[in-house]
Structure 1
């Protein structure tokens, strides 16, 4: 299967991967033939990328680190836990979250098990997520990214568990933010943004009074928007003042934010998200954490069309677990001419050849 932009989806194409809505129900089943009505509906839902089946990508499969069923269950549990504290003061919210601590702990254990037992590079596909459920999906994804980074950095199981809970609850303070600001379908005004920024403090106030989790969890919520150079909020902390766990969640938080659908901004591909994080390496984000992110997640998902520096074009066929930036490419075109038969290129073996760009708008002309 092959990843394409909604802009080049045409009638007659075959859906390669089931598209799920935010409630976890199938919106469009695999192997369905695309019609004009389907294209219109997908655009209305804000879906930017999807997978199709075609000849050049035949046999290429994409598997997420966490199954769809496990993701749906996890997001449902996060939603229920967060909604129980919505509108409460910090003291009451703390009492409610204490009662939810067992569910939260078991959820993190489950995700931690998925990440630590899977030797493959972390793959999370967010192409069908709808913005009104963003906070819950975001909490789920930030948890997975944080666990993958922390695992790569060699943290103990106990620390991984604390980091996971901190990541899962890092945005719980948003439940105190007025709904009209939290779910505003567009960019916030300066005044609204100042209100939104208070969620870090609100989260700390809720979590520091929990008797069932480490105080470090509260500091994860308090500090995940702080930056090494002091440009973050709410306190403008600098490098040595920010806890290492919060530095991990900060990177995971921004990476997921830029690679997920938002109503006011188009999502980026993973490789583009990594470039954003890389641009802040050593200034806003901890260098070790950024490097760990780059080692632990998929840069170019299977099925992505890529243009190489020598002019060849191919589709990512499988990942390289030794270096996620250098996947195996199924070459199908040379000098703008389709080949009669494809062949596999290992970018790790030919290091002089680089990926120039991902081409989700590329149209294959097979005569």
Structure 2
């Protein structure tokens, strides 16, 4: 299967991977033939990319680290827990959150075990799912990224569990932000952003007195927007003052934010998101955390078209476990000429060959 932009999706193409809604129902089934009506509907739903089947990508598979069924169940449980907190008065929110803590802990342990059991680099396909509210999907994905990063950094099982819970609840303070600001479909004004920034303090206050949750989890909510140069919020603290767990969650939070669909901004591909964060390595983000992100997350998902520095064009066919930035590529074009037979190459074996760009809008290939 091959990853393409919705902008070049054509009627007659065959869907390579099912798109699900938050209830676990398929919105568009694998092997469905695309029509103009389907294309219009996908645009309305803000789908930016999807997988199709074609000859050039025959045999290339894309599997998530966490199965669709497990993801859908986890996001539903997160949604139910958060809504339970949101529906009560602010003075009762901590009590309700305490009641929900067992559910949240079991979600985290389930995801943690999935990641620990997996022998593959973490792959998350955000466009394969549709959720009504970004907060719930975001909480799920930041948990996955945080655990993967922390695993790569060598944290113990108990620390991974605490980091997972901290990541799951890092944005819980947003439940106390006015809905007209939290769900605004565009960029916030300066005044609105000042209100939004209060979610870190609200989250800390909700979590710090819970009997069932470690105080470290409260600090994850409080500090995940702090930056090592002191430019973050809410307190503008610097490197040594920021808890290591919060540093991990802060990087995971930004990575998911830039690689997820938003109404006001085109999502980035994983390689682009990693490049953005790498630009702040050692400046605003802990360099050790950034390096762990680079080693633990798929940079170029299977099925994406890449242009190489020697002008060859190919499709990522599988991952290189020892070097996620250098996957295997099925080369199908050299010097703008289609090859009569494709061949596979591992970029790890050709250090002078770089990925120049990812082409999700590649359409010149003719069946």
- Aligned partner of 1:109 in structure 2 is 109
1:74 aligns with 2:74: yes
- Aligned partner of 2:361 in structure 1 is 361
For residues 48 and 99 of structure 1, the distance between their equivalents in structure 2, rounded to whole angstroms, comes to 38
Q: Aligned with 2:338: secondary structure?
A: strand
- Aligned partner of 1:49 in structure 2 is 49
Retained in 2: the 8 A contact 1:306–1:357?
yes
Retained in 1: the 8 A contact 2:20–2:130?
no
Shift of 1:5: 0.4
Shift of 1:331: 0.5
- Aligned partner of 1:196 in structure 2 is 196
Shift of 1:128: 4.1
- Aligned partner of 2:300 in structure 1 is 300
Cα deviation code 1:167-209 (max 9, x no counterpart):
0000000000011111111111111111111000000000001
Shift of 1:22: 3.6
- State TM-score, norm by structure 2: 0.98
Q: Aligned with 2:170: secondary structure?
A: coil
CA RMSD of aligned residues (A): 1.1
- Aligned partner of 1:234 in structure 2 is 234
Q: Which runs of structure 2 are paired with 1:116-135 in the superposition (5 Å)?
A: 116-130=116-130, 132-135=132-135
Moved more, 214-223 or 36-45: 36-45
- Aligned partner of 1:96 in structure 2 is 96
For residues 238 and 17 of structure 1, the distance between their equivalents in structure 2, rounded to whole angstroms, comes to 44
Cα deviation code 1:258-314 (max 9, x no counterpart):
000011111100000001101111111000000000000100000000000001000
For residues 179 and 129 of structure 1, the distance between their equivalents in structure 2, rounded to whole angstroms, comes to 23
For residues 73 and 30 of structure 1, the distance between their equivalents in structure 2, rounded to whole angstroms, comes to 20
Retained in 2: the 8 A contact 1:314–1:333?
yes
- Aligned partner of 2:39 in structure 1 is 39
- Aligned partner of 1:263 in structure 2 is 263
Q: Gaps (5+ residues) in structure 2? A: none
For residues 327 and 128 of structure 1, the distance between their equivalents in structure 2, rounded to whole angstroms, comes to 22
1:272 aligns with 2:284: no
For residues 188 and 366 of structure 1, the distance between their equivalents in structure 2, rounded to whole angstroms, comes to 44
Change (3 A) 1:275 1:131: farther
Q: Aligned with 2:233: secondary structure?
A: coil
- Aligned partner of 1:153 in structure 2 is 153
Q: Aligned with 1:348: secondary structure?
A: helix
Q: Aligned with 1:103: secondary structure?
A: helix
For residues 83 and 354 of structure 2, the distance between their equivalents in structure 1, rounded to whole angstroms, comes to 46
Q: Aligned with 1:281: secondary structure?
A: coil
For residues 357 and 316 of structure 1, the distance between their equivalents in structure 2, rounded to whole angstroms, comes to 12
For residues 238 and 247 of structure 1, the distance between their equivalents in structure 2, rounded to whole angstroms, comes to 11
Shift of 1:352: 1.1
Q: Give 4+ residue runs of structure 1 displaced > 3 Å after superposition.
A: 87-91, 128-132
Q: Gaps (5+ residues) in structure 1? A: none
Retained in 1: the 8 A contact 2:21–2:131?
no
Change (3 A) 1:131 1:106: closer
For residues 132 and 195 of structure 1, the distance between their equivalents in structure 2, rounded to whole angstroms, comes to 23
Shift of 1:350: 1.1
Q: Aligned with 1:356: secondary structure?
A: strand
- State TM-score, norm by structure 1: 0.98
